[in-house]
Structure 1
Amino acid sequence: MARSDSLSIPLQTPGHLKELFDRVDQDKDGYVCYRELYEFLQSNEEGIPRHVIRRIHENADRNDDGKLDCQEFIHMVMDPENKYIFGQYFNMYMRYLLPPSIHQSGLKSSTSIDVADGRYEERYSCWPPKVCMILISLIEIVFFTVDAVQGNTMARGPMATAHIYNPHRRQEAWRFFTYMFVHVGLLHLLVNLFVQLLLGVPLEMVHKWWRVLIVYLAGVIAGSLGTSVTDPSVWLAGASGGVYALITAHIASIIMNWKDMTYPLAQLAIFVVVICTDVGTAIYNRYVGDKNDEHIGYAAHFFGALAGLLIGITVLKNISVEKHERVLKMIAYSLYLILMSAAISVHIFNPARFPEPDKR
């Protein structure tokens, strides 16, 4: 009895283990192959080595047919040997995957597990600390502070001059990226800091810092390249491309985890309304309200948002993968590559479209 603590009583009931089996069985053929077991465990990102998963699967495959039926799967989960190979992780996986009916059925966990309405919401974790967006924000603050100490807060100081996207200095390729660290005035900085922390940190809590960083940088690069192609005379400063990528990354996460979220339609509606209102206002101000404004790259908002959606679909965590979602990932990634390749090609092969380079 001393060896049963890692799999609590309500988590061991055959009905709940069958529900777990059905979720791991992605193609719904009534069997769990090694690939399905591996993808299931890796999607929870606890770092179990591939060879360990292979060994567990082979040991549980009693008839050596290369796949586990439901009974073999249940024996694998309940096998005391696996407690010491998987440790606490299998128990945690089962908590994630079992639906709220555990409580609705009147069964109470001896460990008082509080099951959330949505499996997506259960993935929020504050540990390890989520510092990626915080570090980016600190770098932006440093850039602004260095210039502010010298009395330049409107993107005219040495840091801003060296890193802002200047359409006359396109040959300095780093500017397509480093403009994200430059801000025009304190309000511009504070707004971007607030929004990227508000949106970025929750994404990190579910999807890990490196996925969020990929989305953010994809939005930054897409924002500068897209703006340069469609609005060649515009200077760019600020993290708006990355910020808008974070907004649409939330939309991508909702799309890919629709069945695993609480009130996904309401969440999606909020983000769609926010981004459509802001982009629409920006376009109106740029092309109708103030036609003399040549220094605000509103196109960066749109292209950053598009990149965030496409790359978000591609790299953000998908809790339960379905076949149509795999197709959607391929389409999104291919479309992003096509658009980026087209933008880069325009810069290389059509230099006459852009302002004359500054030779200084």
Structure 2
Amino acid sequence: MPSGQRETSVSMPLTPTDLYWRRIFNKYDRDNDGRISYVELKGIIESREYDQDLPDNVVDKIMVLADSDNSGYLDFAEFVAMMHNPDLKAVFGHFVARYIHSIIPHRNPIDTTVQTPRSKAYFTYTDGTYEEEYSCWPPAICMILISLVEIVLFCYDAAQGNTQANGPIAQIFIYNPHKRQEAWRFVTYMLVHVGVVHLLVNLLVQLFLGVPLEMVHRWWRVTLVYLAGVAAGSLATSLADPKVYLAGASGGVYALIAAHVATIIMNWAEMEFAIVQLLVFLLLAGVDVGTAVYDRYWRHLDQHIGYVAHLAGAVAGLLVGIGVLRNLEKRKWEKRLWWAAVVLYFALMIAGILANIFWTARFK
């Protein structure tokens, strides 16, 4: 590449397209020195985004073509030039496909689109940014550890012939309305399950939903959402059905489901197929609520299912999810939504705690 062309690209301000390449460059600049080495370049090509691994001699040829100043490293300008090199497009098909995908007209062209000089078409670079944030480091182990604890405790009681939340472990951890002064029960009931099916359903949901959330938002945020749903579920159930024993992680599970909805709302422009994902979660919630209403008021079935805990967990998950989960691009309306969610969550939780403490007549 002529040196004059490279100097021009460096001196120009970053366009939205350059910002897209900058995110990729920073992702694979492992040591954050502003350069991509041979090893880091090979890591890009052999990463999980590619359908093929290339031998070392091919990587050598790519480095020779891209490293215009023969420094042994690629700076950002050389990296961008490499991505646009027609001889290398077959290799970097993943990034080219992402780039082509990004030229789809954006929902809000005023803020995040630019006009290309050749085609005069508008394009965006943000759609799909959320999916790029998935990472296996630090490992997503929080939901896995919670699931293992639930399995171990269930197996301990089952080994003594108790699988219906009536074993020695369950007696300590279950939410018992007659032992409300033992405050830990408002949270530890999530470790107790009534039967194998109850356990398996909760495990499947919290692993399939919780682990992907951890990969983007990190374990501590997801843990806050999960425990917020568990606590909200027990507080609400104790007020709505003060004679009900409560077992299972459904409050936390529904918090994770609602947290996915919160993620979609807060990262709408950065997610692929946001509307499809939102409709899927709303459909699942609608089916669950509709089934509960039908069974209770039309079929007159008493299944002893804590639907209040489900609902309260979902509300907590939505509010806490908006409050603590990562928002990749903050907008003014999202800041107002954040404050509204935080204030409403704390107001509801404080009201629930105070009612459980001082509304003694409700529990007689």
**TM-score normalized with structure 2 length:** 0.69
- The answer to whether 1:161 aligns with 2:171 is yes
Aligned residue identity for 2:345: Y
Q: Deviations over 1:217-249 (max 9, x none)?
A: 000000100111112121110000000001011
Aligned residue identity for 2:191: F
CA distance 1:16–1:238, shift in 2 (3 Å) = farther
Structure 1 residue 298: Cα displacement: 1.2
1:194 corresponds to which of 195, 204, 207: 204
Structure 1 residue 277: Cα displacement: 1.1
Structure 1 residue 21: Cα displacement: 8.9
Q: 2:286 & 2:142 partners in 1: Cα distance?
A: 27
Structure 2 match to 1:112: 92
Structure 2 match to 1:126: 136
- Match of 1:114, SS state, is helix
Structure 1 residue 17: Cα displacement: 1.6
Query: Could you tell me whether the CA contact under 8 Å between 1:153 and 1:184 is conserved in 2?
Result: yes
Q: 2:32 & 2:290 partners in 1: Cα distance?
A: 51
Structure 2 match to 1:297: 306
CA distance 1:271–1:84, shift in 2 (3 Å) = closer
Radius of gyration: which is bigger? 2
Structure 1 residue 286: Cα displacement: 4.0
Q: 2:329 & 2:206 partners in 1: Cα distance?
A: 27
Q: Deviations over 1:129-176 (max 9, x none)?
A: 211100000010011011011010111100001111111111111000
Structure showing greater relative contact order (alpha-carbon pairs closer than 8 Å, 6 or more residues apart): 1
Aligned residue identity for 1:183: H
Structure 1 residue 106: Cα displacement: 5.9
1:87 corresponds to which of 15, 33, 41: 33
Figure out how many residues of one structure are paired with residues of the other and give that number: 280
- After superposition, residues 331-342 of structure 1 pair within 5 angstroms as 331-342=340-351
Q: Indicate the larger mover: 109-118 or 317-326.
A: 109-118
Aligned residue identity for 2:94: D
Structure 2 match to 1:5: none
Structure 2 match to 1:19: 16
Unaligned runs of 5+ in 2: 45-79, 102-127
CA distance 1:180–1:345, shift in 2 (3 Å) = same
Structure 1 match to 2:223: 213
- After superposition, residues 227-306 of structure 1 pair within 5 angstroms as 227-290=237-300, 292-293=302-303, 295-306=304-315
Structure 2 match to 1:311: 320
Q: 2:232 & 2:217 partners in 1: Cα distance?
A: 21
Aligned residue identity for 2:180: R
Structure 1 match to 2:145: 135
- Match of 2:225, SS state, is helix
What is the RMSD computed on CA atoms of the aligned residues? 3.3
Structure 2 match to 1:79: none
CA distance 1:317–1:168, shift in 2 (3 Å) = same
Q: Deviations over 1:79-114 (max 9, x none)?
A: xxxx9994369999xx9xxxxxx99x9666788373
CA distance 1:190–1:85, shift in 2 (3 Å) = closer
Q: 2:177 & 2:230 partners in 1: Cα distance?
A: 16
Aligned residue identity for 2:143: M
Unaligned runs of 5+ in 1: 2-8, 24-40, 47-82, 96-101
